Amino acid sequence: MYGNRVRAAALTAVLLIAGMAAAGCSSDEDDAKQVLEEFLAGWPTGALDGVPLVSPTGEPVPTAEVAEAIAGLSGELAEQPPALAAGEVEVSDAVASTEIIVDWPLPGGGTWSYRSPVRLTNGDGGWRMIWEPAVVHPELIEGDELELRRLASTRGGILDGAGQPLVTAREVVEVGIEPRRVTDLEQLVADVESALRTVDSRLDLADLPEQVEAAEPAAFVSVITLRREDYDQVRDQIQPLPGTVFREGERQLAPSRTFAQALLGTVSEASAEDLAGNPALVAGDQVGHGGLAQRYDEQLRGVTGQAVVIARPAPEDEVTEIELDRIEPVPGTDLATTLDVAVQRAAERALSADDRPAALVAIRVEDGAVLAVANTEGEQAHPVNLALTGAVAPGSTFKLVTAYGLLAAGEVQLDTPVPCPAELSVEGFRIGNAFDGDRGEIPFRQAVAVSCNTAFASLAPRLGEDGIATAGGALGLGGDWQLGIDTFTGSVPTGGSELDRAQASYGQGDTQVSPAAMAAATAAVARGAWLPPTLVVDPAAPPAPEPAPLAEAAVADLREALRAVVTDGTGSALQGVPGGDVYGKTGTAEAGEDVAHAWFVGWQDDLAFAIFVEDGGGGSGTAVPLAERFLRDLAG
């Protein structure tokens, strides 16, 4: 709240009257207060008709003139009129004095409160309000206007797992065009677009000529805002062009334009929608859009300060500002995450090898820290965070879940012979494999390695109506995680028909997951216990539960089978990757006629991950090469 500041000289204008006859005083006070209250009632709307008003010299003043004067003096505060109340009225002879209490709501929150002395005079026509600019505020004089100055707060940063800034203030250059300096608009736009597309392939300047032609001659028509390093790449091409102008500044930015954009979000000027939904914002405020920047905007943004000033005309068309009071800004606080810059960059470079929508989530096995959340849709203004919120069939990567359930229940062992026919009919539905031919009976270990759908479908009845869902739950699927951002943790149905359960065993049917869900399940197998993953750690999420141990013997066997996927199965392209042994499972998820998504989940040393490629076809042909690029990049 603002403190009450009034000039000492104004305070002395309050008259202290003594010795007045009680009956007469009461009548005069009541009559004077009635006029004052009529004035205060009309102030907010300008409806002062009927209120008797005079100047300090006693000359009548038209009510319309006073209403106009109040609106002018109120300046930028006029759109939010104050709440007004009268103090005790004291009368001396023909003059009544009091203070009015002014509580002025400010845009963006807060209230400016002060007291202003006022006087009334009694003549032949009864009590009349003495009008002067000081009624609105003691320091106002004719020609003044009240104005607001927003005092920007320092926005908090988004930090990585080492406490270093990911999103922080970085230098930018805004490229613009000044119409009066342009000699050939068509050629200028073509030259600018040609240069800028080397740093932003999305750029479309089709509307720029129209914007320039509609602008004032001296206007700054914004074209694009570039990071300093991007601007430096094109500076020599665009700076000499007749008509280009430039503004330097800072913006809250991630290390690169696409770095974890779907997760981190962006910071930009508040939109009309933002302003309509949040009374604490005003035009020009910087707010988060999408991802963590939006989810934690209030924490990161802090509280913008405000100063109330008098704008007073000065000689030579200048304006003098007199500050009356202020609310100091409150800096935003940082948001700490578990992200690892090297892992995130490796993930994004790996996905860049394929131009289809894709996602990669990487998790540290030891403690469940999410190290990377990569999406190749980062070029969009507000990209979809497929890595965390995608809801798609897991395909054969889900066999690690079914395999764990079968091993934990004692229904199979690694060397248990299981049938792997070319086809299997369940309730009249044909189930086949990605490979041709009948493999006969093969060890369960091999059924995992070669990803035999028919083997898993034939084993599904052994887990009963809820065995697959139970196994998924043990690995965290469908759980209530606390990542600090929206995440789809998966859905594994129970019950259903024999066909439903058969399809669920190899990740089809109604089973759905996100890449994050499969990365966390994979990390659980590598760890030997379920531990909810973490991403946002400050503000701290609720305390994580103790790790929930998995069936030790079953996990040991499952790891051996998942290693066989790499040494003897569908993930064999990963055998030569530097570093420790790679474990994993490929997957192809049918998603409609002629549409199939590609998957690979796995781990190496202390890093578990899941890769998903939309409409990527077979996991071994699409996702496995991306996994290889990812792991080789990390190995250096």
Q: Per residue, what are the HEC states of 227-279?
A: EHHHHHHHHHHHCCCCCEEEEEEEEEECCCCCCCHHHHCEEEECCHHHHHHCC
- The per-residue pLDDT for range 279-329, each reduced to its tens digit, is 778 888 889 999 999 999 999 999 888 999 999 998 877 889 999 999 899
For residues 94 and 629, give the distance between their C-alpha atoms in angstroms, rounded to a whole number.
92
Q: What is the mean pLDDT of residues 399-423?
A: 97
For residues 502 and 516, give the distance between their C-alpha atoms in angstroms, rounded to a whole number.
24
For residues 125 and 134, give the distance between their C-alpha atoms in angstroms, rounded to a whole number.
24
pLDDT at 26: 60
Q: What is the mean pLDDT of residues 395-421?
A: 97
- The per-residue pLDDT for range 198-220, each reduced to its tens digit, is 998 778 899 999 999 999 999 99
Give just the sign of the alpha carbon dihedral 189, 190, 196, 201: positive
Contact yes or no for 286/267 (Cβ under 8 A): yes
pTM given for the model = 0.83
Tracing tokens 């807060």 back to the chain, one arrives at 110
Q: Please list, in sequence order, all residues whose beta carbon lies within 8 angstroms of the beta carbon of residue 235, skipping any fewer than 6 positions away.
A: none
Show me where the domains of the chain are located: 8-143, 158-327, 341-635
| Angle between the N-to-C axes of helices 467-474 and 399-408, in degrees from 0 to 180, rounded to the nearest 10 | 100
Strand partners, 611: 360, 600
For residues 39 and 48, give the distance between their C-alpha atoms in angstroms, rounded to a whole number.
6
For residues 526 and 605, give the distance between their C-alpha atoms in angstroms, rounded to a whole number.
9
Same topology for domains 8-143 and 158-327, yes or no?
Answer: no
pLDDT at 244: 97
Spell out the alpha helix ranges (H) of 51-134: 63-74
Give just the sign of the alpha carbon dihedral 513, 518, 520, 524: positive
**pLDDT confidence bin for 593, thresholds 50/70/90:** confident
Query: Of residues 607 and 546, which shows the higher confidence score?
Result: 607
For residues 560 and 557, give the distance between their C-alpha atoms in angstroms, rounded to a whole number.
5
HEC string of 422-437 equals CEEEECCEEEECCCCC
Is the pLDDT at 5 greater than 60, yes or no? no
Residue 620, CB half-sphere, CA atoms under 13 Å: how many? 15
Contact yes or no for 108/32 (Cβ under 8 A): no
**pLDDT confidence bin for 543, thresholds 50/70/90:** confident
Instruction: Indicate the pairing of strand 305-314 with strand 318-327.
Output: antiparallel
Spell out the alpha helix ranges (H) of 370-497: 386-389, 399-408, 444-449, 453-459, 467-474
The total number of residues written for the chain in this structure: 636
Instruction: Indicate the pairing of strand 596-604 with strand 607-613.
Output: antiparallel
Q: What is the mean pLDDT of residues 483-498?
A: 94
Is the pLDDT at 18 greater than 60, yes or no? no
The CATH classification number of 8-143 equals 3.10.450.50
Q: Which CATH architecture has domain 341-635?
A: 3-Layer(aba) Sandwich (3.40)
Between the alpha carbon of residue 385 and those of residues 77, 271, 350, 475, 508, the distances in Å are 42, 21, 17, 22, 22
pLDDT at 536: 96
Q: What is the mean pLDDT of residues 175-195?
A: 96
- The per-residue pLDDT for range 56-104, each reduced to its tens digit, is 999 999 999 999 999 999 999 998 899 999 999 999 989 999 999 999 9
Is the pLDDT at 12 greater than 60, yes or no? no
Report helix, strand or coil for 579: coil
For residues 349 and 629, give the distance between their C-alpha atoms in angstroms, rounded to a whole number.
8
- The per-residue pLDDT for range 155-177, each reduced to its tens digit, is 999 999 999 999 999 999 999 99
Is the pLDDT at 451 greater than 90, yes or no? yes
Tracing tokens 């009529």 back to the chain, one arrives at 38
Question: For the stretch 134-151, what's the b/e string if a residue is b when 16 or more beta carbons lie within 10 angstroms of its beta carbon?
Answer: bbbbbbbeeebbbbbebe
Spell out the alpha helix ranges (H) of 44-103: 63-74
Is the pLDDT at 382 greater than 60, yes or no? no
For residues 57 and 69, give the distance between their C-alpha atoms in angstroms, rounded to a whole number.
18
Contact yes or no for 483/519 (Cβ under 8 A): no
For residues 249 and 169, give the distance between their C-alpha atoms in angstroms, rounded to a whole number.
9
Q: What is the mean pLDDT of residues 114-120?
A: 96
Is the pLDDT at 443 greater than 60, yes or no? yes
Tracing tokens 């109340």 back to the chain, one arrives at 85
Write the DSSP symbol of residue 124: T
Spell out the alpha helix ranges (H) of 124-184: none
For residues 269 and 174, give the distance between their C-alpha atoms in angstroms, rounded to a whole number.
14
Between the alpha carbon of residue 230 and those of residues 196, 226, 227, 236, 239, the distances in Å are 9, 6, 5, 12, 13
Q: Please list, in sequence order, all residues whose beta carbon lies within 8 angstroms of the beta carbon of residue 9, skipping any fewer than 6 positions away.
A: none
CATH for 158-327, among 3.30.70, 3.40.30, 3.90.1310, 3.40.1360?
Answer: 3.90.1310
